[in-house]
Copies of this chain bind each other. A is one copy, B any other.
């Protein structure tokens, strides 16, 4: 805030004087549930309105030992899934009267330092949906008494509420979709970088295949982006053919789309005739006609809502036991599997 010499922002003192009450009373007028008579209250509110007064959140937070700021730690903000998730988080928070402090944690940034700086705002809570889940985040927040909610960053950690997808079901769903589409020779495409949810469902998929007596060819990508998928498409194409792979589970939609794009347009491979493909997430682009990706849907908006709810719950009851909300998923058959959707 730059002081441009203009009129100073009015304080509760100015409102108090205008309304003929004390500053404490003004404070009460702006505190939901405070004991104050309706008449006095509306008189104050009116005075405040004409003066253009609004509570100074800094002072309030300083005094009351907590602001209504909630930190959101997110990485890869520009990936479709994450963008939607952050939007859900921000809107949910705003709706509850909290303000989201956005922390982008893509590689370069020092997450630890970010958390420290955020803690300096007496944040009411921190929601983590980053890829790299530094356990120190939980630690630092716990020390400061700040509740933490992890989204798909489990496993259920002591000291944090958690929102997760059912890993086992995720992997199984992928296996089933391919198997039910007639695939007998399986492959898996998964990023080299370990991540709770992506690696987790990949391993669950592997386990399912093995349990059913199938071998799996595993291919590793550099990251989970579209470009990463595209980059390994040739390696995949090379393994298509008699006695080779028939169906592949790509651990994220973006990866699947990258593979699909190159397979079809550069290699002229017919999906699903020559190779079947299943992704994961059901991002908006998966449904675009040019792709029609068969995939497994997770409802990020629902997860975001749960994260907000968990944050508020812990604010109300700091001592409640840590909770883990496990979310399900939906198989979405489209056009990259033999079994096809509508």
Contact = CB atoms under 8 A, between A and B. Distances in A.
Interface of A: 1-4, 6-7, 9, 52, 54-62, 65-67, 69, 72, 77-80, 82-84, 86-87, 90-91, 94, 99-104, 106, 109, 114, 116-124, 143-147, 226, 257, 261-262, 264-266, 284-285, 288-291, 314-315, 318-319
B122 A104 contact: no
A57 B120 contact: yes
18 contacts: A1-B144, A1-B146, A2-B145, A2-B314, A4-B318, A4-B319, A9-B145, A52-B143, A56-B120, A57-B120, A72-B102, A77-B86, A91-B104, A100-B101, A100-B102, A226-B288, A261-B288, A264-B289
B90 A77 contact: yes
A19 to B, nearest CB: 19
B58 A67 contact: yes
B104 A101 contact: no
A262 B289 contact: yes
A66 B147 contact: no
A263 to B, nearest CB: 10
Given A1-B146, A289-B266, A56 B102 contact: no
Most B Cβ at <10 Å: residue of A80, A101, A120, A261: A120
A120 to B, nearest CB: 4
A118 B99 contact: yes
Contacts of A83: 77-80, 82-83
B77 A87 contact: yes
How many copies of this chain are found per oligomer?
2
A264 B265 CA distance: 15
A56 B63 CA distance: 12
Given A54-B116, A117-B54, A117-B57, A147 B2 contact: yes
Given A58-B120, A77-B90, 13 more contacts: A2-B124, A6-B143, A7-B143, A9-B145, A56-B122, A57-B117, A58-B61, A58-B121, A99-B103, A262-B289, A266-B289, A288-B290, A290-B291
A59 B66 CA distance: 12
Given A65-B1, A94-B109, A114-B94, A145 B6 contact: yes
Nearest to A335: B265
A157 to B, nearest CB: 16
B77 A80 contact: no
Given A58-B122, A87-B104, A91-B104, A4 B145 contact: yes
Contacts of A56: 62, 120, 122
A284 B69 CA distance: 32
Nearest to A90: B104
B2 A318 contact: yes
A261 B289 contact: yes
A147 to B, nearest CB: 6
A106 B124 CA distance: 24
Contacts of A116: 54
Nearest to A100: B102
A1 B145 contact: yes
Nearest to A62: B58
Nearest to A301: B78
